[in-house]
Chains A and B, each alone.
Chain A
Amino acid sequence: MLDQVTNQSTSTPVATATSKLVVEQVSKWFRTPHATVHALDNVSMQVAAGEVVCVVGPSGCGKSTLLDIIAGLTKPDAGHVLADGQPVTGPGRQSLVVFQEPSLFPWLNVFGNVMFGLRLCPELSNGERREIAHRYLALVGLEKFERAHVHELSGGMKQRVALARALAPDPQVLLMDEPFGALDAMTREHLYDDIQRIWSASRKTIVFVTHNMREAACLGDRVLLMSKAPGRIVQHFEIPLPRPRSIYDAELIGHAGRVADALRGTIGGGVTE
């Protein structure tokens, strides 16, 4: 098994017996009335249990599509996804998503949004659900806003609620799609600390999509680089830095620079950061 995998192209990361997620030769086309878009081309990747993998790539290269396929929200046209060795056939509680767009339910308040996923966990009692919801809202620093309506929150607060909502049901895999793209640098840095703290406490398997190289180098054990459409994984980088990491760390900036250089190479210049 191991031999066979190491013989594959260098763009395929090393699989181990503990691979939590396996994406195998996934391709995806979108058919619209005007054109057919080739979104993903033969994408393969593995994520070990407890590993944080960042996916970076130019806008429109298929990162969100890849995450949708891993979550089971979109069916690939070719290839398949395995979670714990089982094929993913549809969405379910094994992997929760923090979406790129705002996705909180406006008819529920902040607490109700976090409770939504917990209510779908039959193994919990109502008391436990409430306790967990309080705990995760405190974890993202929003315990004072439990009764607030969604539209009363700032953009960053909304993303923090979305994070709490995704974490609360204790998913084995967390899929995050540019969750902090719309936030200011200060709030983002806070959230990097939060994510690292949460990760070191719970060791979740995380796939984190971003187009910010420093963000990728700060959060990831590995960074996968995708080419412009049709998306392919063209390179991967190890980030062997101790945690917690700061995005101002010189070594981290060095790693981010290497990824950025490679990205510039794949899309032929014109991209900053």
Chain B
Amino acid sequence: MKRFAIVSGFLVMLLVGWELASESGRWSPVLFPSVLSVARYLWGAMMDGTLFEAIRVTMQRLLVGYAIGVAVGLPLGVLTSSSQLLEDTIGSLALGLQTLPSVCWVPFAVLWFGQTEGAMLFVVVMGTVWSVIIATNHGVRTIPPIYARAARTMGSRGIHLWTMVMLPASLPFLVSGMKQGWAFAWRSLMAAEIFVTILTGFGLGQLLHYGRELNAMDQVIGAMVVIVLIGLLADRILFAPWERFLHRRWGTNVR
């Protein structure tokens, strides 16, 4: 409760400072709109439905691409961790491609898929899959061998050993890997939406892009605010419960 008060107090101070600065008239309102005009824009966009439509389009691309990235990355990560051959091939490929900022996939995706949903999806998957592979691989390799040894003496092997021991034992690494994958997916999708204008769907990135085209700073800032809020919300909803669970079980992060 005290922390909530501090956080909201800080936010209010930030907003008041912004409002005062814009009202001082020192900067052109075109470049530095007031809090109120941004709020007015957001309200309008909410009422005419463009905002929700943009959020829906963006989230759909993000969730589908992320799901594909995780579904491909998790098993590949497990495989690379259990075979030296796959580690040397797929593992080093993942390591190399993970260093590539995901915006760099955009030109490639547009040439391959054209200005389609396919291009969007491709960029998100490329942003996700490599970091998930690397985190899973690292997670499984970091499990203390004693867990598998203890489980094997109790008769656990094969599928049972992987699902009941190796997977839960690497959960702390998997969750941080999936969180990292989510962050990359989110960033790469925004890059793709800003750079690729397509007609099949109008996402948050495109809202931002057209805000610039129209010189509408209130739209630009409004879209940025929404993007930040979605990022925070996703973290709270998707990952915070897992992290709480892990901290409770492993006894880490005790305060």
Contacts and interface: CB of A to CB of B under 8 A. Distances in A.
Interface of A: 71-73, 90-93, 95-97, 99, 101-103, 105-108, 116-117, 120-121, 149-152, 165, 169
A107 B169 contact: yes
Interface majority SS (helix, strand, loop, mixed), chain B: helix
B102 to A, nearest CB: 32
A89 to B, nearest CB: 12
A93 B149 contact: no
Nearest to A73: B149
A117 B155 contact: yes
B153 A73 contact: yes
A95 B251 contact: no
A95 B153 contact: yes
B149 A116 contact: no
Q: How large is the interface on B (under 10, 10 to 19, 20 to 34, 35 or more residues)?
A: 20 to 34
Interface in B119-152: 146-147, 149-152
B152 A99 contact: no
A150 to B, nearest CB: 8
Interface string B231-255: 0000000000000000011110000
State the 7 A-B residue pairs at the shortest beta-carbon distance, nearest first.
Answer: A151-B251, A117-B154, A107-B168, A103-B150, A91-B152, A120-B155, A93-B155
Contacts of A99: 146, 149-150
- Indicate the member of B151, B155, B251 with the most A CB atoms within 10 Å: B155
Contacts of B250: 106-107, 151
Contacts of A117: 154-155
A71 B146 contact: no
A74 to B, nearest CB: 9
Contacts of B156: 116, 120
B165 interface: yes
Contacts of B227: none
A107 B168 CA distance: 7
B212 interface: no
B171 A107 contact: yes
A97 B150 contact: yes
Contact of B248 (A72, A95, A149): A149
Nearest to A95: B153
B61 to A, nearest CB: 33
A151 B249 CA distance: 7
Contacts of B251: 106, 149-152
Contacts of B150: 97, 99, 103, 105
Contacts of B151: 105, 116
A120 B146 contact: no
